[in-house]
Structure 1
Amino acid sequence: MIRTRLFTAALLGTALAFGSFAAIMAPSEAFAQKASGDKKASGETVRPEVGTPLQAAQELVKQKKYKEALVKVKEADAVPNKTPFEASTVLQFRVAVAQAAGDANELEKAMEALIATGALQQAQQGQYALVLAQSFLTDKNFPKTISWAQKAISLGANESQARTMLLAAYFESKDYANAVKEMSLKIATAEKAGQKPTQRDLEILASLQLSNNNEAGYTAVLERLVGMYPEKKYWEDLLNRVQRKPGFNRDRLALDIYRLKYSIGLLESAGELMEMAQLSLQAGNPGEAQAVIDKGYTSGVMGTGPEAERQKRLKDMAAKQVGDDKKALAQTESEALAGANAGPILRVAEAYAGYGQFDKAATLAEAAIAKGNLKNPDDARLRLVTYYLALGQKAKAEATAKAIKATDGPADLARLSLLAAKAK
């Protein structure tokens, strides 16, 4: 299941998996031309006292003598009264040599200094800012990662890469609120572009919400996951969390919870199937109980083992009650409709639903709600939502769910029923 903490290595791996930036600033023939004073090639030139050590540095890089090359670059840098062009040229060589040498500390200093000169075009500055953000992330210097990633975005660099680095830096800094904002923005951007959020991004956002101690935010992301990627692990977590919400009346809604689990295939053990069947029989709904028991026998989880005899007795009991119920159901319906109390009407509606007659169940549930004297009318609306969904009447189901005002569980289960139907 989703962990309360991200796998840091995986997150950092994503941030760093952008390939090498070696080509951004490698010593080139153009620099050699500048250093030698070729005005036709560059439009500007450097003095020999600056250019000569730079040329030597380039030759040393070709020989992979990086330390010696850096010494030559520093020799050029030590020349007094350099022009702005000379200063930026020296810094570009310094960046190139440090990069080739794999000297991260020297590279970071040189790139920061080069950007500060203002000599680079905006696109180059953006690339350099992105490289710096990546380098500082590798060094675990998260404040500087954040600063340079934001700078890269402002300069028009690859926003997706920069924001992934921001996300990693915020997470490692335990700034979960900003990490949530970054991941939410990434998902919103994908959706705006007509793309479905990836399962991994949603999982990361869920984990960040937990790290941020935002239970409601975590549950909201779980609901998105079950709607887009309806895996068993998400449903189990979501249903468990919904039932733990303050005020949730699990005792009164126990059968409704089982119905939802049954509809999305979460009831697999003999014990759970038997418990649902028993609750259905207690509620006067033998048709539902029989359907649940039959599924247990068909799947092979019931009818064998030490509980086989008990399961057989429950099966026989359900069959007998179904026979008796069907004989009396029409008369029971007439009496319920003629009575003053809406409760019996709703029970008959549930009985019809147990036999798969959802059209009659919906009509009777509507009548029970309209009568206006149900003890828990929103429980009836919850069941009506499921009947409409079984009939394929999505608009009616959604409208009925919106009408549920109770805060002790029916609204949550109705919303999840809609999600389950959407995911099928």
Structure 2
Amino acid sequence: MIKSRIAHLGLVLAALGFIAATPVIGLSIAHAAEAVRAEIGGPLQNAQKLMKSGKNKEALAELRKADGVSNKTPNESYLIERVRAAAASAAGDYDTAARSFESLIASGKLGATEKAQFSEGLIGIYMRARDFGKANAAIERQLKDRHDPKLRAYLIQNYFAMGKTGEATRLLQADLQADEKAGRRPQEDQLQMLSNIQNKGGDKNGYINTVEKLATYYPKESYWLILLNRISGKPGFSSRLSVDVLRLRMHHNMLKKPSDYMELAQLVLRDGAAGEAVKIITRGYKEGILGVGPDAARHQRLKDLADKNLAEIKTKAAANEADLVKTGDKDGLVSLGYALVSAGENAKGIAMMESAIKAGDLKRPDDAKLRLGQAYAMAGNKSKAVSTLRTVGGKDGTAEIARYTIMSL
């Protein structure tokens, strides 16, 4: 399961910046006493002093004295609620704070900027109290007036917390489509949330599709681990493609042990691509994974074998090609062409592969096209690699290997 950073309520609130005092700017004592009767101004002043000393509950008690005064003017009521909003928020009395925020927003005395601040503060209070229904109602009122990606993200988060995954999914997919249509990179947190909903809901295809998007836009090891483990364990996956899974693992820095590098290099040598094996072994040495420990001598022997085979490819290529042409072994020509590309003879190797594939009569045409696409990528021709890999089909893993190779280019 993918961990979604946005799914943690405490982090959401911290991200919002809805620390209670932020939008509730306390009144100065002079302001608190301005244009109010003494029986109201006195409690307001005392409440302000108590708040400065951190005695917020006592401040709320002091404000209740002002509540008892009859025939308050709208301005007096506004000032009381404004101080109460600050005191209640700081005291953690969210029910009281919410009522004060609601009163202030409805008072008509807030400017546009402050009204937006208090509206967001009210949302934060509802979320602290886990009253997600009221939070979303407040968010939707805000979104009618202005587009705010932050608030929309919290709207979705709240639906998720309420268990309304269908509504959360609808909004997430709408945002994803809008981002992709506009050429924007979707937000990682939203993709994570969508993948979690799909995974918990048993939508396997939707889940993998979303993880593929995560791996495309945010190519982290954790996302690629999910994808590569899945295809390796998928029913019908052919073991001959294990080498390609290891290739992708290496590309995404997932080979951590000497045995990982040894296995990949040996499989590549088995297939005749000594040049690629040399590169794999060289990387293992460079990263300090090969050439150390109790098996260092084995690593060296494999390195020597790869170097020897690479030299033989270059000296025997013409003779080997002639033998393969004579016997009509198109699959062998594809393998030899790939080996030549891995040895740095790009033009010759690719031409050989293209000719063999065009001639047909291949045991596994999709494997051949997969190798050609990989050869184009190795030669630095990304556009040709992509167009070729898109033609790869098959139900034993070749199509997925091809798609993941494109994603990795």
Instruction: Indicate whether the TM-score tops 0.5.
Output: yes
Question: Percent identity, aligned pairs only?
Answer: 28
Corresponding residue of 2:3: 3
Give the TM-score normalised by structure 2. Answer: 0.77
Corresponding residue of 1:267: 255
- Give distance in 2, aligned partners of 1:290 and 1:32: 82
- Give distance in 1, aligned partners of 2:390 and 2:188: 28
Residue pairs, 1:221-300, within 5 angstroms = 221-245=210-234, 247=236, 249-297=237-285, 299-300=287-288
- Give distance in 2, aligned partners of 1:273 and 1:301: 8
Partner AA of 1:96 in structure 2: R
Residue pairs, 1:25-424, within 5 angstroms = 26=27, 54-55=40-41, 57-64=43-50, 65-76=59-70, 79=71, 89=75, 91-102=77-88, 103-112=93-102, 126-156=116-146, 159-179=148-168, 210-211=199-200, 213-245=202-234, 247=236, 249-297=237-285, 299-337=287-325, 340-421=328-409
Contact residue 187 and residue 197 of structure 1 kept, 8 A:
yes
Contact residue 336 and residue 345 of structure 1 kept, 8 A:
yes
Unpaired runs of 5+ in structure 1? 36-50
Shift of 1:253: 0.9
Contact residue 14 and residue 164 of structure 1 kept, 8 A:
no
Structure 1 residues 101-137: Cα deviation after superposition (integer angstroms, max 9, x where no partner): 2143223234435656788787765544322211111
Contact residue 47 and residue 60 of structure 2 kept, 8 A:
yes
Corresponding residue of 1:47: none
Residues 399 and 186 (structure 1), Cα distance of their counterparts in 2 relative to 1, 3 Å cut: same
Give the TM-score normalised by structure 1. Answer: 0.75
Structure 1 residues 72-107: Cα deviation after superposition (integer angstroms, max 9, x where no partner): 22543xx5xx9xxx5x54653452132132143223
Residues 7 and 346 (structure 1), Cα distance of their counterparts in 2 relative to 1, 3 Å cut: same
Aligned length: 396
Corresponding residue of 1:43: none
SS in 2 for 1:252: helix
- Give distance in 2, aligned partners of 1:298 and 1:56: 76
- Give distance in 1, aligned partners of 2:44 and 2:97: 16
- Give distance in 1, aligned partners of 2:260 and 2:159: 43
Structure 1 residues 263-293: Cα deviation after superposition (integer angstroms, max 9, x where no partner): 4443342212221222223323344334434
State the superposition RMSD in angstroms: 4.0
Corresponding residue of 1:15: 16
Contact residue 129 and residue 151 of structure 1 kept, 8 A:
no
Partner AA of 1:71 in structure 2: K
